[in-house]
Amino acid sequence: MSEENPLQAAQERFAAAVPFRAMAADQCPLQDARGRTLHADFVAPEDAPPYHRAIVEGFLVNAADTQGADEKSPKSFRVTGAVRPGDTECPPIGAGEAIEVATGSIVPDGPLAVVRMWEAKRSGDGFSVTRPFPPRFFVEDAGCDHALGSVVLPAGTVLGPAELGIVAAFGVDRVAVARAPRVCLFSSGDEVIPYTEAMRPGAIRDSNAVMLAAAVAEAGGSPTFCGIMHDDFDGFVAAAKKALATADMMLVSGGTAVGGRDFISDLIKALGELLVDGVPMRSGRPLIMGVADGKPLVCVAGHPPEALRGFMLFGVPAVDRLLGRDRPLPEDPAPPAGGPPPGSP
């Protein structure tokens, strides 16, 4: 834990209390899995590639037949057949014989090599080479990328286009992904009104409800807005307990202190354990974190730029932990220019 950096120390203390890979597994169709997180290691169900194959166009020969070849003493070969991509087997190759292959052609076991087209001096139905070739030259062996039973993608991997393509290459249509954490969101403050309401003097529209819900979804969670809570402590505690009965995490914006009372700090204590009661940094007082039965409780400022900043610093790592994503803790983004306007929550 970094005591020299108060933000990092607070992040580490909070992250250590959030259970890792707490979400259950969902079996998800591959076409719906973009952005989801692997719940368990994806293990190769077969070798990749599944068979030995040529990786260049040329001629397959016995490597031993090329030994001793040079400009003065070339070695000659007769082309006796061909293997195209999609063919299921390669004809046998006798001494001094060659099989024409394309990129991807199936190749058998043994000390064989592929002579590239530009290294073969053609003559009638054959060709000659002027240098030796080592066994398995330009041959890709079965399982060289991923052997049967090996870990292809580790648990915690976020499935993007490349990862989905890798899974599809194995013929797999469903993957085990972590269920998206259910995040209940509250906005707090007597002055806060729904963002769709007409403005009135002294009010502040609740843009955080939409902004933070989008941020939760982008981080991999499933947000549910549970309403604007006014400065009624007992009512807030009751609403939070009800929401947490079915949620995996709680996110609150605004309402840090009311009438001199540490309103949100006391709320966290009433729900579970208070872990971070403000951070000694710019606009750090509203950053209040805790856990309740292993469920992270993230409380951020009401001023929208600071609310989003707080979620990125503490909420995103909490979602990562629940999903089993082992990623570094985020660094503090640049603070908003000019700071919050006077009177902002």
Q: Mind listing the pLDDT tens digit for each residue in 113-164?
A: 999 999 999 999 999 999 999 999 999 999 999 999 999 999 999 999 999 9
Same domain, 93 and 154: no
pLDDT band of residue 34 (cuts 50, 70, 90) is very high
Distance (Å, whole) CA 46 – CA 146: 8
CA dist., res. 205 & res. 203, Å (int): 7
Position 247 in a domain: yes
Q: What is the DSSP letter of 111?
A: S
Asked if residue 91 is part of any domain, the answer here is: yes
Mean pLDDT for the stretch of residues 222-246? 95
Please say if the pLDDT value at position 258 is more than 50.
yes
The pTM assigned to this predicted structure is 0.85
Q: What whole-number distance in Å separates Cα of residue 191 and Cα of residue 273? A: 28
- The enclosing domain of 130 has a CATH number of 2.170.190.11
Q: What domain range is 105 assigned to?
A: 53-140
Instruction: Check residue 45 and report its DSSP letter.
Output: S
Q: Residue range 84-92: average pLDDT?
A: 94
pLDDT at 262: 81
- pLDDT tens digits, 155-213: 999 999 999 999 999 999 999 999 999 999 999 988 999 999 999 999 999 999 999 99
Q: Are residues 29 and 69 in the same domain?
A: no
E strand residue ranges, 195-309: 204-206, 222-229, 249-253, 273-277, 288-292, 295-300
